[in-house]
Amino acid sequence: MLQSMQANSSLSTLRSPRLQGKPVLIGLRSALTHQAPSHGAAPLAPRGRERVVMARAMTEGEEGPSASVVETPTAPSSTSSPSNTSGSTPSSSSGSSASETYPGEEIFYEGPGSNAELLISLLLLPTLFYAPLSIASIGRRLWITFKFTNKRLTVTNTSPLFSRTIEVPYSKIKEIRAGPRGFGLWGDMVVFLRDGSRLELTGLEKYREIADHINRCIYTL
């Protein structure tokens, strides 16, 4: 009897024109449904620069609780590395210091490679076996120049692909080794430096005189 009276009272409340169109929370239903949390869940611990906030809300008058809302605010990224504005870019240096001067310097020999090597290379060029060596010899004759003074040796390469100049003071040379080529018409030389590196000179005319000159300069410096 009491339950029927409460049901009639609820129906009369719903039919009231003052409450039409407004969400009404029935006491019986609110007692049976799960209570919604009064406050949103505590935010999780920050992960990186993102903050995740979970908020659960119950909407009155709907069938059930609404879906969880995940807010992921995007923080401004500050991981960009600062640009180098100091302008301290290492300058590329060639193998020589052209600005260095040697007082009292005298030229002992200056010129290209051996003419005898070039002549023999041209004669053997039609053969397929000697063709690569002939092309290399022609390139050395056209683009490489040797210069020997009483202070240093200089090798200048004016090739479009390998343009550079190498200067080695005699004080940095440990020893040299020379050998004949082409029945002694020209020769090759290997210069061993004190830092462990070496420099190869190919197709030298007067290689014996040049080797003796370098040895004298090494021991007199």
Percentage of residues in the chain with pLDDT exceeding 90? 41
**Consecutive H or E run containing 120:** helix 115-123
> Which DSSP state fits 79?
-
**Chain CA centroid to CA 46, Å:** 35
According to the model, what pLDDT value does residue 66 have?
Answer: 42
Residue type, 122: L
Among 5-19, 160-174, 190-204, which is the least confidently predicted range?
5-19
pLDDT for 5:
53
Q: Which two tokens stand for residue 42?
A: 């505590």
Whose tokens are 């590395």? That residue is: 81
* Banded model confidence at residue 30, pLDDT cuts 50, 70, 90: very low
Q: What is the average pLDDT score of the chain?
A: 70
Entry pTM: 0.54
| pLDDT greater than 60 at residue 50 | no
Taken in order of first residue, the domains within the chain and their CATH numbers are: 107-220 (2.30.29.30)
